[in-house]
Amino acid sequence: MIPLLLALAATTAIDAEHQFSSDAQRIGQWTAFRKYADRDAVMFTPQAVWARDFLQDRKDPPKSIRWTPADSYVACDGRIAVNTGPWYTPDGKLAGYFTTVWQRGSNGWRWVYDGGIPAPAKTPAARALRAHRASCAGHAPGAPIIPPPPLTPKQARTTPNDNGRGESADRTLGWDWKVGKKGERHFRVYQWNGKRYLQVIDQDVPAP
């Protein structure tokens, strides 16, 4: 009961991310992924797959990876956020940079997208965590992204050009992703600044 209460008590997506990473060490990597995943969460293998299917019978590794948020892009209403930051192998080596899309509902924070990019050749200098809140000024003139119907399990595995999109209810934060035929992926995030949408994340993930 205590872990569930902690998940519900997380006030921000940053809190949820820290709890997620901590639980991966405490209860197991894939067990933690299952615990915090939304029912319609998406992962990549490299094509899009439903996390609920991919994680269902996956056994935890002996030691979990570690990760910590460095930037959090948050909708004006605070109910959707996109976190990014470094992730490390169990022995502490920088492996890449993760991206997690979080949404807050009646059951607390749950992630709906999990992806990442390889570590660059030159490691960026360490800096303090930054939260970037969308402007609440004015009314966003339509969303930058219109959510499509969700992929069926079959489509998520076989469509050569997988793609998906989402947005916050207040239309101040939106994201989209697309997987190419060879498994390469492009992920973008848009945030409302009071006058226009700014593209705050633009990631190209190479094919494996």
- 6-62, pLDDT tens digit by residue? 444 569 999 999 999 999 999 999 999 999 999 999 999 999 999 999 999 999 999
Q: What is the CATH number of the domain that holds 79?
A: 3.10.450.50
Alpha helix stretches (DSSP H) within 42-163? 51-54, 153-158
pLDDT digits (tens, 9 = 90+) for 141-193: 555 554 555 666 666 666 667 888 888 988 899 999 999 989 999 999 999 99
Average pLDDT, stretch 94-120? Answer: 94
In total, how many domains does the chain have? Answer: 1
Contacts of 170 (CB under 8 A, 6+ apart): 75, 76, 77, 140
Q: Which two tokens stand for residue 28?
A: 């197991």
Q: Which two tokens stand for residue 181?
A: 């035929």
Range of the domain at 7: 2-205
Give the span between the Cα atoms of 71 and 14, in whole angstroms: 9
Output the CA angle 180-185-190, nearest 5 degrees.
125
Give the span between the Cα atoms of 147 and 150, in whole angstroms: 8
Give the span between the Cα atoms of 148 and 153, in whole angstroms: 15
**Residue pair 190/175 in contact by the 8 Å Cβ criterion:** yes
